[in-house]
Amino acid sequence: MKPRLALVAFLACFLRLPAEPVDLLLIHGTIYTANDAAPRAEAVAVRDGRIVYVGGNAGAEAFRAEAKRVIDLGGKTLLPGLNDAHMHLGGVGLRELSFDLEGVKSVAELREKLKARAAQTAPKKWIVGRGWIETHWAPPVFPSARDLDDVAPDHPVVLTRSDGHAMVVNRLALKLAGIDRNTPNPTGGEILRDSQTGEATGMLIDNAMSLVYRLVPSATEAEVAHAFVVGAEREAALGWTGVQIAGHSYQEAELVRRLVAEGKIKLRVYDAVSGPGPDAAKLARTPGTAYGEDTAAWKLFADGPVLGESRGRYTRRSVKLYIDGALGSRGAALLEPYADSPGSRGLVMQTEADLLPFLEDALRRGIQIQTHAIGDRGNRLMLDLYEKALAAVPVVQRKVAEPRWRMEHAQILSLADIPRFAQLGVIASMQPSHAIGDLYFAPSRLGKERLAGAYPWQALWRSGAVFTAGSDAPVERGEPMIEFYAAVARRSLDGFANDDWHLEQRLTRAQALRAMTLNAAYATFEEKERGSIEAGKWADFTVLSADIMQIPEAEILKTRCLLTIVGGEVIYEAR
């Protein structure tokens, strides 16, 4: 603090100089600012959506008499607004509204739930569910059409695995899709087949899912809007002040933009549209043709980014690509075969010829790229492609000099590739909960040796890479306390981790907080606007029932959100 400012603060404190009225004053807090210059505070004052004071309770007294609202935190913990760096808002809302199979413990329970759902659903109407995961079942094997047929014979049924990379469908759905023993596997996908008869089992992996999914009638715009609003309300109640949507259609992005403008979504939204499929190179030569779901990225290229609309609550400047699948369904592209499936190295969904011209174009237009990359081969392929594009388009030809491209998940890395994130300026956007969800099956998929580069949070951090954390909801539950706990404990929710699970890769609490706040803001080019508690920044805060920077690990999971504040506006208040 400059001497003169210090004097003013001193006088304001002791002489009670009348300060300009503030809209909101929060006092008696345990405040962690994520600002290294002044990491702790007791009070914050907000005017016109922005922080005007952060400091001690004594200094806050100057604002008290004329503050429009004073909240006495009574010692509760206040953090910079938590920011989910990777999630799917529409999916979260649909999960709230839909046939949710999360937590189903066996095929028998899955059948029971499906039977009940079928009884409430008009015959011939599609039943669409999501969220099952077989890894905890006994035995841990995929369900099949046969498990679904007798409990729902009159409805086409599609039940997506929790990772979104595999689904089980019933025989009626297979029939409607025309899938039989002669149907070839589509590129980047697999129709699982009975080893004896060769018939499709009902399990569809990655790109094979679209053979059935394209038949499911799409929701109306009103239904989709409702899902977004319901999803946003859930996020706010959990303490998220911002969400980063990891790809959807241009129409959905426009809908979210409108809902934010209308004040129906109160969160700060950073939006990415879905990238092009295998036709990227062809489309690059004829931009502007047939804008649709697949070509959302081209529409973004043509229309340009949307920056900080609705008072900093809506930004769209990113495209989401996929290079491989997921580890659970063995779609993640590995350099060496799966330890538990020696014939398979996973699936690569894009080619260099398709992607490179697209990446170069994105650099010239100032569009951020974020790529789903889970396996070590997927990650290496993308790092190589990022490197080539960055070399091909020098800084003077770029719209944004520092493009801040991201790797989403970055789960399994060859140790040689870890330093490349920092070298190339690529952000590691990881989901702590994936590591604790995967710890049961990752060792069998990968074998012991490769676990050294699996979820290597601390190694990435120490290499100088910017590390941000998100939940990937609805793939995971999407609760900030689960993400924070997973990042610092690296154990299952009941405290389990086996000996091979590299606990040295845990984050410290300060790192975890940084990953969910300031680094999440950096990943969206907004670290000067939000992400820490500093005068001048947006007043985005999360108030918690306990001090997660101090309490025992297990208690983190019992911590609840009390208040969620965005731009000084209380958007959630626990009763």
**Where do contacts with Zn ion occur on this chain (CB under 5 A)?**
246, 472
CB of 150 vs Zn ion, minimal distance in Å: 34
Nearest to 266 by CA among 554, 45, 540: 540
CB of 475 vs Zn ion, minimal distance in Å: 6
Between 35 and 162, whose beta carbon lies closer to Zn ion?
Answer: 162
CB of 385 vs Zn ion, minimal distance in Å: 20
Residues 431-453 as b/e (b if ≥16 CB within 10 A, e otherwise) read bbbbbbbbbbbbbebbeeebbeb
Q: What gap in Å lies between CA 84 and CA 483, rounded to an integer?
A: 10
Q: What gap in Å lies between CA 549 and CA 32, rounded to an integer?
A: 9
Q: What gap in Å lies between CA 181 and CA 130, rounded to an integer?
A: 26
Between 315 and 471, whose beta carbon lies closer to Zn ion?
Answer: 471
Between 246 and 435, whose beta carbon lies closer to Zn ion?
Answer: 246
Between 156 and 331, whose beta carbon lies closer to Zn ion?
Answer: 331
Q: What gap in Å lies between CA 540 and CA 236, rounded to an integer?
A: 12
Q: What gap in Å lies between CA 377 and CA 414, rounded to an integer?
A: 8
Residues 364-376 as b/e (b if ≥16 CB within 10 A, e otherwise) read ebbbbbbbbbbbb
- DSSP annotation of 219: P
Contact partners, residue 504, CB within 8 Å, separation at least 6? 458
CB of 394 vs Zn ion, minimal distance in Å: 32
Alpha-carbon torsion, ordered 145, 146, 152, 155, to 10 deg? 40
Between 315 and 411, whose beta carbon lies closer to Zn ion?
Answer: 411
Contact partners, residue 11, CB within 8 Å, separation at least 6? 17
- DSSP annotation of 550: T
CB of 372 vs Zn ion, minimal distance in Å: 7
Between 354 and 408, whose beta carbon lies closer to Zn ion?
Answer: 408
Between 246 and 439, whose beta carbon lies closer to Zn ion?
Answer: 246
Between 248 and 420, whose beta carbon lies closer to Zn ion?
Answer: 248
Residue with tokens 């610092």: 488
CB of 131 vs Zn ion, minimal distance in Å: 14
Q: What gap in Å lies between CA 181 and CA 197, rounded to an integer?
A: 9
CB of 473 vs Zn ion, minimal distance in Å: 9
CB of 139 vs Zn ion, minimal distance in Å: 28
Helix and strand numbers, DSSP H then E, in the chain: 22, 25
Distances (CA, A) of 464 to 215, 408, 420, 467: 46, 17, 10, 9
Between 47 and 130, whose beta carbon lies closer to Zn ion?
Answer: 130
CB of 431 vs Zn ion, minimal distance in Å: 8
